[in-house]
């Protein structure tokens, strides 16, 4: 699969919703919050619902047969588990119904220059997901990394067999910035995807990240992003 830079300027709601991993990852989300979130996924046509591990099975049951994939997060938000523990968490999530996985890398390994550990960390996660045919994204948490560390982490992600590199958890000291997305895309090329995540809360910002090199966007403000789409008026009155 080739992950080309998206140049499109205008989007319908359906087109943009297909690019967003609509997310509910706050630790205080209640069951009623989750039910409202699921209703929005159906209403606006999001194709991916990104949730914490504990909500995977509940959401998977409701999305069964609809084409919506449940993405779950692993070693979230710190990435501070061993490779073996991350692999087990990923496999447990898949058993509960996860159709996609976003896993936080060992940030401390990158900051220490322990690239062998970082490779083992990522390779274990990629293997755990791929043995079940599941796509996996690795979260770098770019706010803590230098440009050189971002490049090296992307190179290792590619070598380890990750499908995507992702900017951030949304719970670090910073989130996606355009320069990081461009750097990541320049590093991985078209062989891997890039996912931008964080304070992406409007249509203009979303399109800017797509043009910078992201193929997917992660946001809990997906509905607000859709409000800039060409046919939003069809949905606004509902």
What is the CA angle 93-95-101, rounded to 5? 35
Tell me whether residue 102 is one of the annotated catalytic residues: yes
Three-state SS for 38?
helix
Q: Is the peptide bond before 77 cis (omega within 30 degrees of 0)?
A: yes
Tell me whether residue 166 is one of the annotated catalytic residues: yes
Catalytic residue among 21, 102, 163, 180: 102
Task: Give the list of residues 6+ apart from residue 103 with CB closer than 8 angstroms, or none.
Answer: 73, 74, 75, 76, 79, 86, 90, 125, 136, 137, 138, 139
Tell me whether residue 159 is one of the annotated catalytic residues: no
Provide the β-strand partners of residue 166. 139, 195
Tokens 């966007």: give the residue: 217
Nearest residue to 66 (alpha-carbon basis) of 53, 48, 54: 48
Catalytic residue among 69, 137, 166, 185: 166
Exposed/middle/buried for residue 129 (C-beta within 10 Å: 0-12, 13-18, 19+): buried
- Which are the catalytic amino acids? 102, 166, 195
């Amino acid at each position: 699969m080739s992950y080309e830079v998206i140049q499109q300027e205008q989007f319908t709601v359906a087109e943009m919703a297909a690019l967003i991993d609509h997310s509910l990852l706050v630790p205080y989300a209640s069951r009623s919050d989750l039910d409202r979130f699921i209703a929005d996924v159906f209403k606006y046509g999001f194709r991916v619902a990104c949730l914490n591990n504990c909500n995977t099975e509940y959401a998977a049951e409701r999305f069964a047969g609809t084409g919506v994939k449940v993405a779950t997060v692993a070693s979230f938000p710190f990435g501070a588990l061993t490779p073996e523990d991350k692999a087990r968490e990923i496999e447990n999530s898949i058993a509960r119904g996860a159709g996609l996985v976003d896993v936080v890398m060992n940030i401390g390994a990158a900051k220490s220059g322990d690239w062998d550990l970082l490779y083992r960390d990522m390779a274990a996660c990629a293997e755990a997901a791929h043995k079940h045919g599941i796509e996996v994204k690795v979260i770098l948490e770019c706010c803590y990394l230098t440009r050189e560390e971002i490049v090296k982490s992307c190179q290792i992600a590619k070598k380890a067999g990750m499908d995507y590199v992702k900017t951030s958890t949304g719970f670090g000291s910073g989130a996606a910035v355009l320069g990081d997305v461009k750097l990541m895309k320049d590093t991985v090329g078209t062989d891997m995807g890039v996912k931008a995540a964080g304070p992406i809360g409007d249509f203009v910002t979303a399109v800017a990240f797509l043009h910078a090199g992201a193929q997917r966007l992660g946001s809990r403000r997906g509905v607000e992003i859709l409000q800039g789409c060409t046919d939003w008026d069809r949905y606004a009155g509902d």
